[in-house]
Amino acid sequence: MKLLQELPLGTRVVVRYRIEGGFTDALGNLVARDATTCTVETRRGPVVVAFDAVALAKPVPPPPTRKSGGGPPSAL
């Protein structure tokens, strides 16, 4: 896929690609590429995707920041 070959490394992307039985997605930073594959660093680790398996790909914004404080508010 041409887009994945042109985006700067470090760009956050979502890539939908073919697997046996259907499709799956990889969401994370584009960290490497060569002539036939790209690597997306996801929360679960690196995912190597063959360009010829890619159905869709696009850059996405950074993840939302989590608000600190956690947990439900305390009762008064």
Query: Mind listing the domains of the chain with CATH numbers?
Result: 2-59 (2.30.30.520)
3-state DSSP assignment of residue 48: strand
Global pTM reads 0.82
Provide the greatest CA pair distance for the chain. Answer: 61
Per the CB < 8 A criterion, the answer to whether 60 and 12 are in contact is: yes
- At residue 66 the predicted structure's pLDDT band, cuts being 50, 70 and 90, is confident
Q: Please give the residue that has the higher pLDDT: either 10 or 69.
A: 10
